[in-house]
Amino acid sequence: MQDGTFTSAGHLHETCRGDAYARDCPTRQLLDRIGDKWSVLILLLLGEEEMRFSRLKQRIDGISQKMLSHTLRSLERDGLLTRHPVATVPVTVSYRITPLGRDLLGALRMMIDWAETRMSEVAAAQARFDRERVPA
């Protein structure tokens, strides 16, 4: 339960004139939140459709129930998605992206598109780099 450990004890920095490189800048904050291993994937899925816990777990290859749980709670806290429990016999809970989250998703998707079309070039660059710079 100590997930929200954002001490941020640092005091305000002098100039941040629109630049996003100071500690307390929005950019850093965003990166701190969705820069983890699973947030983007979850938002991506919920962008497609509302989804239940178990469904998310089975669609996201390799996520543990602990991390799914933690990440969902974190995203809910950030107002990027909402939680909808249904009092059926075995309780079911579905998650839905919020307008705020959907808006962010628009930006994220451009990143994803880049990944799908250009990651091969990255792989090639890596191979080249490793070949030239003595691999030993």
Give contact residues for DNA (rule: CB under 7 A). Answer: 1, 3, 5, 36-38, 52-55, 57, 62-67, 69-70, 72-73, 83, 85, 90-94
Provide the β-strand partners of residue 83.
95
85 binds, among a copy of itself, DNA, none (CB under 5 to 8 A by kind): DNA
User: For a copy of itself, which residue of 78, 92, 94, 102 counts as binding (CB under 8 A)?
Assistant: 78
Task: Give the footprint of a copy of itself on residues 15-74 (CB under 8 A).
Answer: 16-17, 19-23, 26-31, 33, 35-37, 40-41, 44-45, 59-62
Distance from C-alpha of 50 to C-alpha of 53, rounded to nearest angstrom: 10
Contact 45, 59 (CB under 8 A): yes
Distance from C-alpha of 136 to C-alpha of 133, rounded to nearest angstrom: 9
Q: Which residues of 38-72 are buried (b: 16+ CB within 10 A; e: fewer)?
A: bbbbbbbbbbeeebebeebbeebeebeeebbeebb
Interface positions with a copy of itself (CB under 8 A): 3, 5, 13, 16-17, 19-23, 26-31, 33, 35-37, 40-41, 44-45, 59-62, 76-80, 100, 103-104, 106-108, 110-116, 118-119, 121-122, 124-126, 128-130
